[in-house]
């Protein structure tokens, strides 16, 4: 991320470029010393990524043979963007807008309270429900760690791990939908070798606390790993996770300005069967260089790797805003490239099968209408239809209000609401929906000046067609 909200990845000075070039040259000549593939051969205790110890079982999103898989074993390739929720908590429509443009995942910026205001359990629970209502796989990340060791304001991975442990009850049961990105860019350019030990310790701490989600770890050097520390130590970090469910994240900005740098880095992880995603990347040129986003996207598509572009909107320098002023109708050139360009999201994204795999409404449809309105309030009606051949029940309906509407009363079900995200459990007389049958939920709610209808609904986590 390049924004005045935090230090940018430090530019490659001439000395840095020479050092990076020398490291790359050594990596090509002595790949056994630097590449993760070599670590596989050299570590007798090492295991291939995705091999789990006897007795363990995959839960939800997990790693197998170096790939990110869903709970049913289906390959999942992220195609999405980053969204700066912690700085713009009121932009609740953003996830629906991101989904409408074709994304299958979103990386959500959170704070553990070290540097910015903490995103508490209720807020995080609401974000997860909004992701699910919009059929997005949700990558949650703590941003406070950015540039630790070089930026005095940055927090530690240990503090971030404690934050995730504090959210354990919120995260429990969300393994199909959530990836936990422990800390954003958790080491600067000062002694990047110091990244490995706290990364291993954070992974071990989270697993000891019982978190079963796929974990994501970012690279040092402000996420760009131009000195090759994550590349060299990836196998050791992976082996520290007793579940094997850990994926690496490389951030690609101006350090990655040639096709050779990009393909060499990604191929090293693929060859070693170590899972990797491009967790942030930019395309517009800056004073440090001109990232080769075309190769990043082409290589990701060729290798079947995920990517998450930076960022939806709200950057201090709008050059990296995909949408101007959070308006999906005003995509920047960067936004057009990401969503509609070659190897872009619209062309390559496939929805997670947990949401129906791109076929919404396989077993349900939902109709929503406003029955009446008055100043500050309205009455609504939701009709849920079972379009499948088997009875549905018990069921949970999820959706998100885009304008902050708040349910005050409901009949036919019981509503629970966190921010805009609403979860509805059935009443006893609506608990089972027979094949071809419907249930009707009525409710009253508060509203502000606008009353935009929700656009995405899910039943028991599976997407429903909107009618």
At residue 50, the pLDDT reads 43
Q: Looking at the predicted structure, is the pLDDT value of residue 27 above 70?
A: no
* Cβ–Cβ under 8 Å, residues 462 and 354: yes
pLDDT for 1: 55
Instruction: Say yes or no to pLDDT of 54 above 80.
Output: no
pLDDT of 41: 28
Calpha distance 285→291 (Å, rounded): 6
Q: Which long-range contacts (CB under 8 A, 24 or more apart) does 404-407 make?
A: 404/92, 404/447, 404/448, 405/378, 405/445, 405/446, 405/447, 405/448, 405/451, 406/445, 406/446, 407/443, 407/444, 407/445
3-state SS class at 197: helix
Average pLDDT score over the chain: 86
CA distance linking residue 1 with residue 313, whole number of Å:
12
CA distance 236 to 232: 9
Residues present in the chain in total: 467
For 156-205, how does the pLDDT look when each residue is reduced to its tens digit (9 = 90+)? Answer: 999 999 999 999 999 999 999 999 999 999 999 999 999 999 999 999 99
Q: Specify the pLDDT at position 2.
A: 45
Please list, in sequence order, all residues whose beta carbon lies within 8 angstroms of the beta carbon of residue 160, skipping any fewer than 6 positions away: 112, 142, 144, 145, 182, 183, 186, 202
Q: What is the DSSP string of 367-411?
A: EEEEEEEETTEEEEEEEEEE-SSS-B-S--EEEE-TT--EEEEEE
Residue 46 has pLDDT above 70, yes or no: no
Winning range, highest mean pLDDT, from 6-10, 228-232, 360-364: 228-232
What share of the chain in percent tops pLDDT 90?
Answer: 69
Cα distances from 409 to residues 107, 160, 413, 417, 457, in angstroms, run: 33, 38, 10, 12, 19
- Tell me, what's the pLDDT at 332? 96
Answer for the pair 345, 339: CB distance below 8 angstroms, yes or no. Answer: yes
Reference 457, options 398, 388, 376; nearest CA is 398
- Paired strand residues for 244: none
DSSP symbol at 314: -
Report how far residue 436's alpha carbon sits from residue 36's, in angstroms, rounded to the nearest whole number.
54
Return the SS3 of 248.
strand
Residue with tokens 């503090």: 159
Give the integer Cα–Cα distance in Å for 213 and 211. Answer: 6
Q: Which tens digit of pLDDT belongs to each residue from 194-239?
A: 999 999 999 999 999 999 999 999 999 999 999 999 999 999 999 9
Asked if the model's pLDDT at residue 360 lies above 70, the reply is: no
Q: How far apart are the C-alpha atoms of 450 and 137, rounded to whole Å?
A: 28
Task: State the virtual CA torsion across 231, 233, 234, 239 in degrees, nearest 10.
Answer: 170
Ramachandran region, residue 460 (left: φ > 0; alpha: ψ -120 to 50; beta: rest)? left
The pLDDT-based confidence of 453 (bands split at 50, 70, 90) is very high
Instruction: Quickly state the pLDDT bin for 58 (edges 50, 70, 90).
Output: low
Q: What is the pLDDT of residues 9-19, one digit of tens each?
A: 333 332 333 33
Of the chain, the end-to-end C-alpha distance in Å amounts to 39
Task: Tell me whether residue 381 is exposed, middle or buried, using C-beta atoms within 10 angstroms of its C-beta: 0 to 12, 13 to 18, 19 or more.
Answer: middle
Q: What's the mean pLDDT in 130-145?
A: 95
pLDDT over threshold 90, residue 338 = yes
CA 334 to chain centre: 20
pLDDT per position as a tens digit, 378-395: 999 999 998 877 788 778
Contacts of 17 (CB under 8 A, 6+ apart): none
- Domains annotated for the chain, with CATH where assigned, are 14-355 (3.20.20.80), 364-466 (2.60.40.290)
Place of tokens 């995080």: 124
The answer, as to whether pTM is greater than 0.85, is no
Check pLDDT > 80 for residue 320.
yes
Structure tokens at 142: 């703590």
> Which residues participate in catalysis according to the annotation?
185, 280
Distance of CA 78 to the CA centre of its chain: 8
Task: Answer whether residue 6 shows pLDDT above 70.
Answer: no
| The two structure tokens encoding residue 175 | 């393994």
- pLDDT tens by residue, 280-293: 999 999 888 999 99
Q: Give residue 241's pLDDT band: very low, low, confident or very high (50, 70, 90).
A: very high
- Would the pLDDT of 28 be above 80? no
Contacts of 183 (CB under 8 A, 6+ apart): 141, 142, 144, 145, 146, 155, 157, 160, 202, 218
Predicted local distance difference test score (pLDDT) of residue 357: 60
Q: What is the pLDDT of residue 389?
A: 76
Task: Name the packing angle between helices 259-271 and 14-29 (round to 10°).
Answer: 40
Contact 131, 177 (CB under 8 A): yes
Q: In which band, very low, low, confident or very high, does the pLDDT at 123 lie, cut at 50, 70 and 90? A: very high
What pLDDT, on a 0 to 100 scale, did the predictor assign at position 462? 75
pLDDT tens readout for residues 409-435? 999 999 998 888 888 999 999 998 998
Tell me if 314 sits within 8 A of 88, measured CB to CB. yes
Residue with structure tokens 């009618």? 467
Q: What is the mean pLDDT of residues 95-113?
A: 94
Nearest Cα residue to 251 out of 405, 333, 146: 146
């Amino acid at each position: 991320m390049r924004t005045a909200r935090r230090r940018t990845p430090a530019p490659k000075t001439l000395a840095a470029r020479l050092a990076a070039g020398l490291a790359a040259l050594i990596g090509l000549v002595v790949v056994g010393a630097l590449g993760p593939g070599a670590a596989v051969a050299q570590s007798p205790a090492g295991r291939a990524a995705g091999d789990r110890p006897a007795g363990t079982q995959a839960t939800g999103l997990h790693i197998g043979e170096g790939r990110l898989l869903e709970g049913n074993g289906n390959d999942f390739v992220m195609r999405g963007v980053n969204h700066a929720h912690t700085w713009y908590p009121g932009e609740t429509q953003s996830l629906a807008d991101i989904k409408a443009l074709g994304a299958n995942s979103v990386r959500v910026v959170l704070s553990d309270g070290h540097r910015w205001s903490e995103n508490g359990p209720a807020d995080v629970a609401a974000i997860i429900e909004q992701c699910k209502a919009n059929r997005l796989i949700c990558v949650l990340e703590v941003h406070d760690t950015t540039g630790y060791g070089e930026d005095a304001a940055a927090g530690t991975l240990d503090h971030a791990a404690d934050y995730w442990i504090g959210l354990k009850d919120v995260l429990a049961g969300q393994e199909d939908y959530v990836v936990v990105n422990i800390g954003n860019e958790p080491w600067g350019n000062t002694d990047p070798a110091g990244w490995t030990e706290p990364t291993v310790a954070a992974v071990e701490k989270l697993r000891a606390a019982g978190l079963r989600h796929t974990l994501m770890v970012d690279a040092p050097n402000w996420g760009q790993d131009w000195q090759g520390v994550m590349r060299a130590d990836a196998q050791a970090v992976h082996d520290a996770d007793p579940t094997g469910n850990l994926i690496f994240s490389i951030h690609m900005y101006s350090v990655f300005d040639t096709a050779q740098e990009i393909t060499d880095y990604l191929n090293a992880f693929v060859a070693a069967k170590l899972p990797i995603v491009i967790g942030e990347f930019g395309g517009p040129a800056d004073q440090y260089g001109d990232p080769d986003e075309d190769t990043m996207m082409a290589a990701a598509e060729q290798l079947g790797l995920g990517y998450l572009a930076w960022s939806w909107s709200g950057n201090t320098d709008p050059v990296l805003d995909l949408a101007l002023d959070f308006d999906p109708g005003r995509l920047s050139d960067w936004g057009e490239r990401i969503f509609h360009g070659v190897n872009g999201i619209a062309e390559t994204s496939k929805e997670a099968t947990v949401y129906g795999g791109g076929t919404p409404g396989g077993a349900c449809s939902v109709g929503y209408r406003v029955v009446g309105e008055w100043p500050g309030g309205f009455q609504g009606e939701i009709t849920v239809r079972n379009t499948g051949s088997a009875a549905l029940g018990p069921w949970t309906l999820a959706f998100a209000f885009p304008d902050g509407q708040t349910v005050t009363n409901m009949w036919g079900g019981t509503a629970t609401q966190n921010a805009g995200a609403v979860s509805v459990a059935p009443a006893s007389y609506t608990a089972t929906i027979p094949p071809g049958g419907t249930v009707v939920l009525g409710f009253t709610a508060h509203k502000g000046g606008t009353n935009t209808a929700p656009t995405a609904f899910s039943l028991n986590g599976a997407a429903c067609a909107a009618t």
